[in-house]
């Protein structure tokens, strides 16, 4: 993907507000370091740019880790082991600050504006005045997941969701629920999430082997929604706490086509293929559901940690990715369709080798396609990224209206899990966020433009954004947190847009004819 990166400059301006406090301005949060405030040690300062909650693990004591940008896993943003990777590894910790004195509970990703603090040291500050919080709150999540109708109106909604050891038969094994009370709370939290999502097809990973767990969720969804839900019976039985991947679907909307195919390369029962036909249109697609080998443990040989950020068992995950492609190529004639949507927990971030197995073979990473480099579904040690993927081949891409990760889990403190609290809401129902994809099967969601995103030109002059050669497409502008700020149709070949934004780094996506161009804009 070709990128146009506007020049970036780092400078700190300061003056005095009416209370005599130093006002600190950070012109470029992407390269800011806490070293820049060392000279203010012992002073009270106010920042005129927002900060974000990056870690809430110590929220009970009023302590949070914050930064003027969301911190992302290095291999989610760039090629493992590259110079840019090394730069991000170094830059991430230098951007974070421990802030004490906050009241109430706040989720990771919430934005703080009007932050006034006392600088105790470069990376330890004390709150002076409570800031204004906006975005990514529980209320925002309760209002529903962001629209998947970004490129047309969907007729089917597909959801892939890691359920973090959803067990119903063999509880008390040390994995998943320890007793019936915990099992009940786990089920209640997951069902609250699924009722909010209301998908037509679910792909679940980390769900108990056998049929009882799938049956329970299908039955519960039928009761909750009034629509008939069924599941794909793989013929297996439960065995201890071992989990698998499995499908639940709304039989009022879709029907399975052909037989389930299980790919046993690597970890068993965790890579499946199933085709579904939309009843209203008769159109079909192949849904590849996967859960790759985890990064944890000690690998040997080519599975040893190579020190490039990809962790252990990377070679095994590469082989699993290759086997998914091979399975698809072997089964697409059987399913009589070429459209494939690959989803699930691949235990690899966006730029890691297993994901590049797919993208190097012409497939599209939907997180990147719809959200540039701001998407995430998982947070580990302050760093956001996505292990939970949605990947499409070229024929499938034309029928996809949009994709979203629903942030009900990754930004929450783990004290709200079913085994640590009495909470039965969807928040922290798992450690992974569900990923949602909108489909309009049989549609060609291309625009009628003769242009392509790669050919378009972007120029920022003062506060006017000039977009040329993209007529018939549309644009979306995000802040560095991934919040959508502006979007619209590009109606002219020489389209001009007035930007009403504050100083900072922004991401512009331009979509034309199923191509996308990503541009990073710096507003001085």
Please give the pLDDT value at position 485. Answer: 78
Name, in order, each residue with C-beta under 8 angstroms of 126's C-beta and a sequence gap of 6 or more. 99, 100, 101, 117, 118, 120
Please give the pLDDT value at position 429. Answer: 98
| From 90-94, 327-331, 411-415, the region with the lowest mean pLDDT | 90-94
Please give the pLDDT value at position 446. Answer: 62
Please give the pLDDT value at position 16. Answer: 45
pLDDT of 6 over the 60 cut: no
| From 77-81, 149-153, 425-429, 520-524, the region with the lowest mean pLDDT | 520-524
Domains and CATH numbers, the chain: 3-136 (2.40.50), 139-439 (3.60.10.10), 453-523 (2.60.40.3080)
What is the tens place of the pLDDT at every residue in 462-516? 778 899 888 777 788 877 656 677 878 888 888 998 887 777 778 888 877 656 7
**CB of 407 closer than 8 Å to CB of 137:** no
Average pLDDT of 68-72? 94
Burial class (CB in 10 A: 0-12, 13-18, 19+), 108: buried
Q: How confident is the model at residue 235 (pLDDT cuts 50, 70, 90)?
A: very high
pLDDT of 108 over the 70 cut: yes
Please give the pLDDT value at position 362. Answer: 94
- Break the chain down into helix, strand, coil percent, rounded to 5: 20, 35, 45
Average pLDDT of 228-249? 96
Secondary structure letter of residue 414 according to DSSP: G
pLDDT of 416 over the 80 cut: yes
pLDDT of 4 over the 60 cut: no
Higher pLDDT pick, 86 / 145: 86
First vs last Cα of the chain: how many Å apart?
25
**CB of 478 closer than 8 Å to CB of 371:** yes
Write down the mean pLDDT value for the chain: 90
Which of 335-360 are b and which e, b meaning 16 or more Cβ less than 10 Å from the residue's Cβ?
A: bebbbbbbbbbbbbbbbbbbbbbbee
Q: How confident is the model at residue 68 (pLDDT cuts 50, 70, 90)?
A: very high
Please give the pLDDT value at position 90. Answer: 92
pTM over 0.85: yes
Higher pLDDT pick, 87 / 479: 87
What is the tens place of the pLDDT at every residue in 375-385? 999 999 999 99
């Amino acid at each position: 993907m070709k990128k146009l990166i506007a020049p970036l400059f780092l400078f700190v301006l300061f003056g005095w507000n009416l209370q005599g406090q130093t006002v600190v301005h950070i012109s470029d949060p992407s390269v800011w370091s806490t070293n820049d405030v060392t000279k203010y040690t012992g002073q009270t300062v106010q920042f005129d740019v927002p900060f974000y909650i990056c870690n809430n693990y110590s929220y009970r004591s009023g302590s949070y880790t914050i930064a003027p940008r969301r911190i992302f896993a290095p291999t989610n943003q760039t090629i493992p082991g590259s110079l840019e990777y090394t730069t991000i590894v170094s830059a991430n910790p230098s951007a974070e600050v421990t802030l004490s004195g906050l009241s109430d509970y706040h989720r990771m990703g919430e934005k703080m504006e009007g932050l006034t603090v006392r600088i105790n040291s470069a990376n330890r500050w004390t709150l002076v005045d409570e800031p204004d919080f906006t975005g990514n709150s529980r209320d925002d999540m309760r209002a529903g997941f962001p629209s998947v109708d970004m490129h047309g109106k969907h007729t089917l909604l597909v959801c892939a969701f890691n359920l973090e050891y959803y067990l119903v038969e063999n509880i008390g094994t040390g994995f998943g629920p320890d007793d019936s009370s915990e099992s009940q709370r786990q089920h209640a939290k997951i069902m609250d999430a699924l009722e909010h999502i209301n998908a037509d097809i679910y792909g679940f990973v980390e769900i108990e082997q056998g049929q009882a767990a799938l049956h329970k969720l299908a039955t519960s969804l039928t009761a909750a929604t009034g629509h008939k839900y069924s599941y794909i019976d793989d013929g297996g039985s439960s065995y201890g706490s071992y989990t698998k991947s499995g499908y639940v679907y709304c039989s009022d909307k879709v029907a399975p086509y052909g037989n389930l195919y299980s790919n046993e390369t690597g970890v068993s029962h965790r890579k499946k293929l199933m085709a579904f036909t939309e009843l209203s249109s008769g159109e079909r697609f192949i849904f590849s559901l996967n859960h790759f080998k985890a990064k944890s443990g000690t690998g040997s040989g080519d599975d040893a940690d190579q020190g490039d950020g990809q962790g252990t068992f990377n070679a095994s995950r590469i082989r699993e990715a290759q086997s998914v492609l091979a399975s698809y190529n072997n089964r697409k004639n059987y399913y009589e369709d070429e459209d494939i949507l690959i989803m699930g927990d691949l235990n690899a971030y966006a730029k890691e080798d297993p994901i590049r197995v797919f993208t190097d073979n012409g497939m599209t990473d939907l997180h990147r396609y719809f959200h540039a480099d701001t998407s995430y579904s998982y947070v580990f040690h302050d760093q956001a990224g996505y292990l939970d993927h949605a990947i499409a081949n070229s024929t499938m891409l034309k029928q996809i209206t949009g994709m979203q990760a629903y942030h009900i889990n990754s930004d929450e403190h783990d004290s709200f899990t079913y085994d640590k609290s009495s909470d039965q809401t969807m928040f922290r129902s798992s450690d992974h966020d569900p990923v949602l994809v909108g489909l309009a099967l049989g549609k060609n969601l291309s625009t009628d433009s003769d242009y392509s995103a790669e050919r378009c030109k972007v120029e920022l002059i003062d506060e006017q954004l000039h977009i040329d050669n993209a007529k018939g497409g549309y644009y979306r502008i995000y802040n560095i947190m991934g919040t959508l700020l502006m979007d619209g149709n590009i109606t002219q070949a020489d389209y001009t847009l007035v930007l009403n934004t504050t100083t900072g780094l922004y991401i512009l996506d331009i979509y034309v004819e199923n191509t996308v161009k990503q541009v990073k804009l710096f507003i001085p």
